[in-house]
Amino acid sequence: MLQLTVLREQTDLVVAGLNKKNYKNAAEEVAAILDLDQQRRALQSEHDDLQAKANSISKEIGIMMKSGERDKAESYKAETTELKQKAKALSEQLSTIEEDLQKALYKLPNLPHESVPAGRTSEDNEVVLEQGEIPELYEGALPHWELIQKYDIIDFELGNKITGAGFPVYKKQGARLQRALINFFLDEAMKAGYIEVQPPIMVNEASGYGTGQLPDKDGQMYHATADNLYLIPTAEVPITNMYRDTIVPVEQLPVKNTGHTPCFRREAGSWGADVRGLNRLHQFDKVEIVQISLPEKSYEALEEMSSYIQSLLQKLELPYRVLRLCGGDLGFTAALTYDMEVYSTAQGRWLEVSSASNFETYQANRLKLRFKNDSGKTQLLHTLNGSALALPRIVAAILENNQTPDGINMPKVLHPYLGFEKIG
């Protein structure tokens, strides 16, 4: 959530940033928020003055009662009653305006970092680097949705029977590949200094608001309405919310956590070639890395996270590229995002497998996640997260890029985790 002080003091910068994200009616909405804020402050000042006056008269009443001026004290009591009634009415107005102000602030996305390129769609994203050789496949090579049928390692029809489309059943070597990737990613994260946690996969409403999934992505999350709980779209949500309403000691920074969870996304409105096979699922596994950083060190941390995620792709021997997302493709809560994409040779296109983002103070302001600076004043921290990695498209690329007429070769780094070197 954007800070009100930033909206007040850097209004033009805020509007320009929202326009860079192609946010509609930015100037009007910011002006409306500032108007609500002005009303709130005026009401608060009036309320505080009435309360102070009532308190002052109450002290005088005490003195009068002690000195025997009871009639005068009674008239003052009537005045304090009237002041308190006015203060109560103002307090009710104040609550309504504060609620409206909070809702309006929740609607505003984060501001993009100055390095974010302008643009409206993914076509305008900036390619930062490409690495790895794109393999040449044999004639008759298959896309992964045909390979998994050929080798009987993932069953979409069975998942559809049990739950519905987008909930596959992994079996045989497919199940072992899932487990191998999860263990490999967790082991690598711990080597890189991340502490493993196993968080809940359902969160309450406060957690959804804390990291910005609510209200922005309300319709994209599975909602257990009886208990008002949400199935997580990513482990970022519960892991970051571990630090909600926390003042983190400086000596404990940066905080670095990793965790594996299943992730759930309704993906309402998804259709076409992008959703075939493992390209887009309603349930999938992912290992997440999360950092909480001092503001002046957060972009250094983002570069470190990007390099770390790239190291995983290198060890899996997958050709990849890194994109800096443009303003129009940048997520609601992000200030800067790097997307990592692997090349799927059988599909002939790039597949996004990870995003690494710096949210600056946007989530921390919602979470009330702070530290104390050298002078003892509390300040907001910066939060970051990255997929390290999401499994479905990694599996798709491994299957497609390593296929041979005799089977599918597994990356060497996975052999100790798999117990086999080839599928088929």
Q: What is the pLDDT of residues 266-279, one digit of tens each?
A: 986 555 556 789 99
Look up residue 239 and give its two tokens.
């892991």
- Integer Cα distance of 414 and 404 in angstroms: 18
DSSP string, 74-125: HHHHHHHHHHHHHHHHHHHHHHHHHHHHHHHHHHSPPPPPTTSPP-SSGGGP
- Integer Cα distance of 262 and 283 in angstroms: 7
Question: CB of 297 within 8 A of CB of 250?
Answer: no
Question: CB of 148 within 8 A of CB of 395?
Answer: no
Quote the pLDDT of residue 54: 80
Quote the pLDDT of residue 57: 79
Question: Which residue from 287, 245, 241, 285 is spatially nearest to 265, judged by alpha carbons?
Answer: 285
Quote the pLDDT of residue 59: 75
Residues in the chain predicted with pLDDT less than 50, given as ranges, are: none
CA 287 to chain centre: 14
Quote the pLDDT of residue 224: 97
- Integer Cα distance of 9 and 187 in angstroms: 45
- Integer Cα distance of 393 and 103 in angstroms: 36
Please provide the size of the chain in residues.
424
Quote the pLDDT of residue 393: 96
344's torsion region: left (phi>0), alpha (psi -120 to 50) or beta?
A: beta
Quote the pLDDT of residue 73: 64
- Integer Cα distance of 233 and 282 in angstroms: 9
Order of strands, sheet of 202-204, starting from the edge strand that comes earlier in the sequence: 202-204, 229-231, 223-224
Q: What values do phi and psi take at 372, rounded to 5?
A: -105, 125
Query: Which domains are present in the chain?
Result: 4-107 (1.10.287.40), 122-423 (3.30.930.10)
Quote the pLDDT of residue 81: 77
Dihedral angle over CA of 11, 12, 18, 22, nearest 10: 150
Question: Which residue from 229, 185, 189 is spatially nearest to 207, judged by alpha carbons?
Answer: 229
Question: CB of 182 within 8 A of CB of 391?
Answer: yes
- Integer Cα distance of 255 and 239 in angstroms: 11
Quote the pLDDT of residue 83: 82
Quote the pLDDT of residue 183: 98
Burial 189-215 (b: 16+ CB within 10 A, else e): beebebeebebebbbeeebbbbbbbbe
Look up residue 423 and give its two tokens.
């599928």
Question: Which residue from 188, 181, 194 is spatially nearest to 301, judged by alpha carbons?
Answer: 194
First to last CA, the chain: 50
Peptide bond into 389 cis (omega under 30): yes
